[in-house]
Amino acid sequence: MKKNFLFTLILISGAAYASDPWACVSALGQSDSNNPNQVGCNSNTGTSTATSPAAAAAAVVAPPAIAPAANVAPAPQQAQTKTWLFIGNNNNSGITQCRITANGVNLATCNNVMPSKTTAKGFSYPTGMSVSKNTLYITNDYKYITQCTISANGLDADSCFKTEIIGTYSIQNPEIISNTFLLTTDKKIHYCPLNNVTIDNTKCKNFAMGDSDKSITGMTIANNMVYLVRNGDWQQPDIITQCSIDSTGIIDTTTCSSVTPTGVGQIKDSQDIKIYNNMAYITGREAVTTCNLNSNKSIDAASCHNYAVAGGSSFKSSVLGDNKLYTISGSAEIAVCNLTSTGIDTKSCQVLKPAGDGSLGWPGAIAIY
């Protein structure tokens, strides 16, 4: 059942969350208020210390609020560099594209593009998107990469074609570094050489992480590192793993290390991870978590915070650019939030719902260009 969630802050008055820092964020979607003056998950004020017996026993000092106060210094303004927003849909097996203007996403321009059935041979169940040069790559249909050329008018449907990643299933998280195409399956990272923009599926290789019992839910490449978000142990928060990667896309597994943010920064039901302006953004089903990077570009687990942002729960994927965060959710909506020097400006978040030919159908992947 689809739900519309139009709010920027969830409103919880006088509640105690010291024993369960996720209680506030877990209530996301139960209020449709859009009043930024009332106290909610993202405020440092108005939340009482623990009063329940369980909370009192859990800690002597209550942990900080879910996220920093809203009055933070804005990030430096950047000129608009992104002009297209792409979203892969499950229901109608097409790609919604919308123009990005100086005023934001122009919903009037949204339309659905269906990759050519002649060359792409079907398109369904997108799980990830990545843009390199003027090409959009989409992991979809369990074991295929569909790639389409991006022109001044958006996607060229007749240019789309499909490549099977042989011997895989449930592929996701496409990434490109130099002339190497990387993706993940449940517990492995796969990499294939690129011939210009075409994937050579005859030379793909893969490897599993040492603790291969932990499923990979998200992957991104930045700072000569690969960052992974993975499921934690049973009923435990998810973990972030990072490893060095060279210019050819080869990962040095001897350099891998992992951290597990806890407290108000713990990651729950992770979906993907992105790095932007020296900060990691992890999309979970109920919130977006941010973590600072240390000087060596490792994750500073102590800095992690969960943000309840507009768009409700069941977040699927995110992308960042021009100091903005774009996320999609199971409720077929796009949430767009401004970024600050310390994280997400939740009061700026807007929920967008393309209509007509550009409407979303259980979206599964997002990219900007």
Q: What is the pLDDT along the chain (369 residues), one digit of tens a residue?
A: 433 333 222 222 333 323 344 444 444 332 222 333 333 344 333 333 333 333 333 333 333 334 433 434 444 455 679 999 999 998 767 999 999 999 999 999 999 999 998 888 878 899 999 999 999 999 999 999 999 999 999 999 999 999 999 999 999 999 999 899 999 999 999 999 999 999 999 999 998 887 667 999 999 999 999 999 999 988 899 999 999 998 888 899 889 999 999 999 999 999 999 999 999 999 998 899 999 999 999 999 999 999 988 866 678 899 999 999 999 987 789 999 999 999 999 999 999 999 999 999 889 999 999
Report yes or no: 219 and 228 within 8 Å, Cβ to Cβ.
yes
In this predicted structure, what is the pLDDT of residue 61? 31
DSSP state at residue 163? E
Residue 212's pLDDT is what?
67
Instruction: Report d(CA 317, CA 272) in Å as an integer.
Output: 6
**Which pLDDT value is given to residue 194?**
95
Q: Round to whole Å and give the CA distance between 88 and 319.
A: 13
- pLDDT score, position 107: 97
According to DSSP, the residues that pair with 130 across neighbouring strands are: 137
**DSSP classification of residue 232:** -
Q: What is the DSSP letter of 54?
A: H
| All residues at 6 or more sequence positions from 167 whose CB lies less than 8 Å from its CB, including other chains | none
Q: How far apart are CA 190 and CA 172, in angstroms?
A: 10
Overall fold of domain 84-368: Neuraminidase (2.120.10)
Residue that is written with structure tokens 């490109």 in the block: 176
In the numeric block, which tokens belong to residue 312? Answer: 């409700």
Residue 359 Cα distances to 145, 229, 279, 333, 355, angstroms: 23, 30, 31, 9, 4
Quote the Cα angle for 299-303-306, to 5°.
105
Would you state the pLDDT for residue 185?
95
| Whole-number pLDDT of residue 122 | 79
Tokens representing 210 are 């040492």
| Cβ-count burial 217-229 (b if 16+ within 10 Å, e if not) | bbbbbbeebbbbb
What CA–CA distance (Å, rounded) separates 149 from 120? 12
Q: What is the DSSP string of 282-348?
A: EEESS-EEEEEB-TTS-B-GGG-EEE--TT-S-EEEEEEETTEEEEEETTS-EEEEEEETTEEEEEE
- pTM, entire model: 0.80
